[in-house]
Amino acid sequence: MHFFIGNFGHLFVIVSFVTSLVAAFAYWKSFHATDELKKEGWKKNGRAAFYLHGIAVLAIVFALFYIIFNHYFEYHYAYSHSSLHLQGQYMVACFWESQEGSFLLWMFWQAVLGVIMIHTRQAWEAPVMIVFALVQAFLASMILGVVLPAIDFKLGSSPFILLRDALSDPIFKVNPEFIPKDGHGLNPLLQNYWMVIHPPTLFLGFALTLPPFAFCIAGLWQKKYSEWIKPALPWALVGGAILGLGILMGGYWAYETLSFGGYWNWDPVENAVYVPWLVLIASIHVMLTYNNSGSALKASIILNIAVFILILYSTFLTRSGILGDASVHSFTDLGLSGQLLIYLLFFTAISLALAFARWKNIPSTQKEISTYSREFWVFLGATVLCLMGFQVLLPTSIPVYNKFIGLFGVHSNLAPPANQIEFYSKFQLWFGVAVAVISGTGQFFWWKKMDKNKLKSELLVPVLVSLVLFALIIAIGKISNPTYVVLTLAGVYLIVSNLNVLYTVVRVNPKISGGAIAHIGVGMMLIGILFSAGYSKIVSLNNSGLILNKGMGTDFNRDNLLLFINEPKTMAGYEIEYRSENLELRSKSGYVRKNDIVPTTDPYKVVATKDIVYKGKKLYSSKDTFDIYPENTYYEIEMRRNGKVEATLYPRIQMNPGMGGFMASPDIKRNLGQDIYTSVSATMNREDDPHWEKPEEFKVKIGQQFFVNDYVSVLEEVKRVDQVEGVELTGEDVAVKAKIKIEGEHEPFYAEPIFLIVNKKEVGRIPAEINDLGIRIALLNIDPQTNEFTIGTAIRQKDWVVIKAVEKPLINVLWIGTLVLMVGFGMATVRRFKDFIN
Amino acid sequence: MKISHIIAIVVIAAAIGIIIATAGDASTYVNFDQAYQMASSGNSTQIHVVGELKKDAAGHVVGLEPGADKLSFSFVLVDDNKKEQTVYYNEPMPADFLRSEKVVVIGGYQNDQFVAKKILLKCPSKYQDQKLVTR
């Protein structure tokens, strides 16, 4: 038992909590001290406390990694998230698989940002760091794992809890020193590089919403109502980029690996980060306007506060267990809901109280804004973004509403909309149109002073170009749905008008073109989303013509396709054929067919029964022993067009009883114009004994042909063998092995059944099975007089797999648009950061 | 009227519109009897029913019937009023299905048969399985 490292970690959790409170207190003292000397002194104390806090956070991170990397399974965290076979990068990933680790990740980023703040914001250090330290204190309390003695209340859930304290297994009564040999392992579905990079990105995005909030609060507190915007802006821009990137990474991960069917499902967990991001984008826009024209200060303050509160609200939603039945992938409840609620309410209350108290003194422009001003367009855009977020937030909060009115004894049975995707899409689509039109037009006002006539001449060319492009797309894409027609036009207009602006701006100064580039990215994303979602088509339609359940009507049994091994079917203009079950190689890249290997006692090692060739390259020779990943089975699906193999897909299934059975990951055939997305939806159960039928007997001589289940077969040779696996042969026993060649669809197979005579009279038969063909062959008898051999055959249902395939057109436009958006954000951030430094 | 007032009015109208639309599109949690009544009175909106899988005395799930083509399946769900109902689902059996503590089916009655369009599962935490391997 390694008690030290756990105690070490837990101690530093407490240290991090205490130091963050000390830092907040010291900075508070410094802030309120009137004497310059005292101010400086307290500031130094605060700084020291925050540095200590940072060191403590690093120590906690170190301790948790140490436990995971050294496989200390006496700790609950290592036992339930790691295992001996886990690779290094996934041991990093299991750090943040659970709530405690992800709180820690969040704390880590904010500690880093806090240190940067100390070094860059000397003048505002005290008030900004008070906010930072308080937020850190709340986060540290979540992983504190301390029981308050007086009220018997458990504060936080510690990641350093011992397994014996976490589980009440009887083994610990017998042997408290018991340590499991191996851990539970990281959910194999999460063993993916996205699990390594998506959470840190997302939590960095979360953390980056803190600096603008802290500046805003500090500004209000000090009655410096406008000075906070300049330093807050670059942070907000980085935050917008990173949080957006984190969200889209999650979407891409879901698309590529998790078989949720698409990149976005309007699940409450997804919505919970989407809403703060929209409001963050709105806040960036109003802050930019303030920077340029001095208006929209109040809006900047409200939106900045809203972003941070929404981040806390989203944390509450996903971690308190309140979503319960409503979400498929929220965290499990750790009993922190009370603490999370206090965290949310604390910052909501102080920021709103502060804003309210200062409201009258916040300067605002009395001048009515003109429709020809950029302020008007930006304000309009920000309003649409906020409404867009509101529309998502409202239904997502239904479980909270139910709980809330439940407190007053009213029972509410309100449930989220039954078809979430349809429900959200029908609103968000029109918001998308509004965003496109406003940001397409707004760009013209951003750069130039406009009036009616000038606007007409400026808009003429982009509108005409958009219309031509739009007509082309409509004609080629055969779009008839009126809503999609409008969205296409709006998206094209957004791209064209911003290209126009980009062309003008680049000639003046390329460094300020970030905004135009970002908007082009948004336009591309809108077009990509429209086509990939609106025109996504299930191509695995069941064309067997069978209606299997008459009561259900015609739409039953239509989305999935049953493929028998080596039996081609047509789908989406391709001839597709299920070829084999495969395992992934561990030390080389590629797959190996399960029929070409035999297992060993080590589940991670197998022996080849023939040369292993993958993509024309020989990877292993027959009888080689090599490493594989046992958890995943890959179904080789060949897609051919005109007899030529266009792609071989390997959608994946994980059979993992410990983690909940059957988990599918798709494989994607990527074309320029569209993706074909294939996933396995059902497989055969190999644990049941197969049902052998149609027994037949053949009397054949060497070299004679016969037919098994319509396959041409030849008895090639029969010879005596000295060794038979699993049977001990003594002096007078006889063992004979037949070699029968069966011509399969693609290649010949060899069956080698064995016939035995033991103790001179007992006859034994060891049949051979050809998995690929669903055939069992036995050597039943030998007639030495006629030189004839009796062969017995039986067949079973062939191997099969059920797949679902979806075609998603133009999805690459979405991904490219995302990258363009990120480039735009990057350029804008660099520019605003330089502004702020000068 | 000032333009900002017009915008304010439009925004408020839009917000109210969103609230009404959400209330209108929101589904409800009901039991099978209520769902049946809704369907027989011509209300075809999809509803949520929360229940548990039917189990025998030994705790094994019973009433599970895979479709002959393996592309669909049906199961028996027991709602909070202990009413049993066979539910048809037009997809292969989801992962985790047999391990779920609670099943939420979203769908409705069609010709006296309950057809689920979507199934949500509430599983005992995947990550903190309480079974310890002691060998």
Q: Out of A31-35, A793-797, B48-52, B60-64, which region has the weakest mean confidence (pLDDT)?
A: B60-64
Q: Out of A317-321, A543-547, A622-626, which region has the weakest mean confidence (pLDDT)?
A: A543-547
A836 vs A381 pLDDT, higher one: A381
Nearest CA in chain B to A178: B134
Residue A427: its chain B contacts at CB < 8 A?
18, 21
pLDDT of residue A441: 86
Q: Which of A155-159, A335-339, A818-822 has the highest mean pLDDT?
A: A818-822
Terminal Cα-to-Cα distance of chain B (whole angstroms)? 80
C-alpha span between A671 and A677 (Å, rounded): 11
Q: Is the pLDDT of residue B129 over 50?
A: no
Taking an 8 Å cut-off on Cβ atoms, the answer to whether B134 and A664 are in contact is: no
pLDDT of residue A346: 94
Residue in A326, A379, A548 closest to B69 by CB: A548
Q: What is the mean pLDDT of residues B80-86?
A: 85
For residue A718, which amino acid is it? V
Q: Is the pLDDT of residue A301 over 90?
A: yes
C-alpha span between A79 and A46 (Å, rounded): 38
Q: Is the pLDDT of residue A690 over 60?
A: yes
Q: Is the pLDDT of residue A687 over 70?
A: no
Q: What is the mean pLDDT of residues A288-306?
A: 86
A42 vs A457 pLDDT, higher one: A42
- Those residues whose C-beta lies under 8 Å from the C-beta of residue A656, and which sit 6 or more positions away, are A188, A631, A663
Neighbours of A38 (CB within 10 A): 13
Percentage of the residues of chain A whose pLDDT score is greater than 70:
93
Q: What is the mean pLDDT of residues A534-541?
A: 77
Q: What is the mean pLDDT of residues B29-38?
A: 85
Contact map slice: A 412-471 vs B, CB within 8 A: 413-419, 423, 427
Instruction: Please tell me whether residue A294 adopts helix, strand or coil conformation.
Output: coil
pLDDT band at A330 (very low <50, low <70, confident <90, very high): low
Enter the ipTM: 0.83
Contact map slice: B 53-82 vs A, CB within 8 A: 67-72
Q: Is the pLDDT of residue A149 over 50?
A: yes
pLDDT band at A550 (very low <50, low <70, confident <90, very high): very low
Q: Nearest-5° angle of CA A515, CA A517, CA A523?
A: 105
pLDDT of residue A688: 67
pLDDT of residue A656: 60
Residue B14: its chain A contacts at CB < 8 A?
387
pLDDT of residue A657: 56
C-alpha span between A716 and A789 (Å, rounded): 12
Decide: A629 and A586 in contact? Cβ < 8 Å: yes
Residue in B71, B102, B125 closest to A560 by CB: B71
C-alpha span between A159 and A175 (Å, rounded): 23
Residue indicated by tokens 């922190």: A336
| For testing contact with chain B, the best of A165, A178, A419, A654 (most B CBs within 10 A) | A419
- Dihedral pair phi/psi, residue A600, rounded to 5°: -120, -175
Q: Out of A83-92, A817-826, B59-68, which region has the weakest mean confidence (pLDDT)?
A: B59-68
Q: Which of A367-381, A538-552, B105-119 has the highest mean pLDDT?
A: B105-119
Token output for A258 = 């998790």
In which element (H, E) is residue A571 found?
A: strand A569-571
Q: How far is B57 from chain A (nearest CA, A)?
A: 22
Q: CA separation (Å) from B99 to A80, A510, B125?
A: 18, 58, 10
Taking an 8 Å cut-off on Cβ atoms, the answer to whether B126 and A659 are in contact is: yes
Q: Is the pLDDT of residue B122 over 70?
A: no
Task: Tell which residue, A203, A86, A99, A109, has the closest CA to residue A161.
Answer: A99
pLDDT band at A452 (very low <50, low <70, confident <90, very high): confident
Percentage of the residues of chain A whose pLDDT score is greater than 90:
26
Count of positions (residues) in chain B? 135
pLDDT of residue B135: 41
Q: Is the pLDDT of residue A660 over 60?
A: no
Q: Is the pLDDT of residue A387 over 90?
A: yes
pLDDT of residue A109: 96
Instruction: Please tell me whether residue A742 adopts helix, strand or coil conformation.
Output: strand
Q: Out of A103-112, A188-197, A527-536, A552-561, which region has the weakest mean confidence (pLDDT)?
A: A552-561
pLDDT of residue A378: 87
Decide: A223 and A182 in contact? Cβ < 8 Å: no
pLDDT band at A409 (very low <50, low <70, confident <90, very high): confident
Taking an 8 Å cut-off on Cβ atoms, the answer to whether B113 and A552 are in contact is: yes
A219 vs A98 pLDDT, higher one: A219
- Dihedral pair phi/psi, residue A580, rounded to 5°: -170, 165
pLDDT of residue A680: 84
Write out pLDDT tens, residues A464-507.
Answer: 888 998 888 888 877 788 888 898 899 999 999 999 888 888 88
Q: CA separation (Å) from A812 to A328, A526, A618, A670?
A: 27, 12, 34, 9
C-alpha span between A86 and A186 (Å, rounded): 8
DSSP per-residue codes, A360-427: GGS----SPPPTTSHHHHHHHHHHHHHHHHHHHHHHHTHHHHHHHHHHTT----EE--SSHHHHHHHH
pLDDT band at B96 (very low <50, low <70, confident <90, very high): low
pLDDT band at A115 (very low <50, low <70, confident <90, very high): very high
Q: Out of A385-389, A435-439, A698-702, which region has the weakest mean confidence (pLDDT)?
A: A698-702
Return left, alpha or beta for A156; rule: phi > 0 is left, psi -120 to 50 is alpha, else beta: left
DSSP per-residue codes, A16-64: HHHHHHHHHHHHHHHHH--SHHHHHHHHHHHHHHHHHHHHHHHHHHHHH
Residue A682: its chain B contacts at CB < 8 A?
70-71, 92-93
List of domains in chain B? 28-122 (2.40.50.140)
pLDDT of residue A60: 94
pLDDT of residue A448: 67
Q: What does DSSP assign to residue A656? A: E
Residue B28: its chain A contacts at CB < 8 A?
413-415
Nearest CA in chain B to A396: B22
Task: Tell which residue, A25, A47, A73, A29, has the closest CA to residue A178.
Answer: A73
Nearest CA in chain B to A99: B127
In which element (H, E) is residue A134 found?
A: helix A125-142
Order of all β-strands in the sheet with A788-795 = A693-700, A788-795, A775-783, A768-770
Q: CA separation (Å) from A130 to A21, A22, A214, A339?
A: 9, 10, 8, 20
Q: Is A169 on the interface with B (CB under 8 A)?
A: yes
pLDDT band at B134 (very low <50, low <70, confident <90, very high): very low
Q: Is the pLDDT of residue A664 over 80?
A: no
Q: Is the pLDDT of residue B86 over 50?
A: yes
pLDDT of residue A329: 55
Q: Is the pLDDT of residue B42 over 80?
A: no
Q: Is the pLDDT of residue A399 over 90?
A: no
pLDDT band at A184 (very low <50, low <70, confident <90, very high): confident
pLDDT band at A110 (very low <50, low <70, confident <90, very high): very high
Write out pLDDT tens, residues A62-85.
Answer: 999 999 988 888 888 888 888 887
Residue indicated by tokens 């809503």: A483
pLDDT of residue A552: 46
Taking an 8 Å cut-off on Cβ atoms, the answer to whether A661 and B99 are in contact is: yes
For residue A333, which amino acid is it? D
Q: Is the pLDDT of residue B126 over 80?
A: no
Write out pLDDT tens, residues A706-741.
Answer: 888 888 888 888 888 877 777 777 777 888 888 889
pLDDT of residue A363: 81
Decide: A136 and A60 in contact? Cβ < 8 Å: no
Q: Nearest-5° angle of CA A476, CA A479, CA A485?
A: 120
Q: Which of A193-207, A262-276, A718-732, B61-75 has the highest mean pLDDT?
A: A193-207
pLDDT of residue A235: 92
pLDDT band at A433 (very low <50, low <70, confident <90, very high): very high
A260 vs A46 pLDDT, higher one: A46
According to DSSP H, which parts of chain B are helical? 3-25, 32-40
Instruction: Please tell me whether residue A180 adopts helix, strand or coil conformation.
Output: coil
Write out pLDDT tens, residues A753-806.
Answer: 888 888 777 888 888 888 888 888 888 888 888 888 888 888 888 888 888 888
CA atoms within 13 A on the CB side of B3: 12
Query: What is chain B's mean pLDDT, rounded?
Result: 78
DSSP per-residue codes, B34-48: HHHHHHHTT----EE
Terminal Cα-to-Cα distance of chain A (whole angstroms)? 57
Q: Out of A253-267, A307-321, A454-468, A711-725, which region has the weakest mean confidence (pLDDT)?
A: A253-267
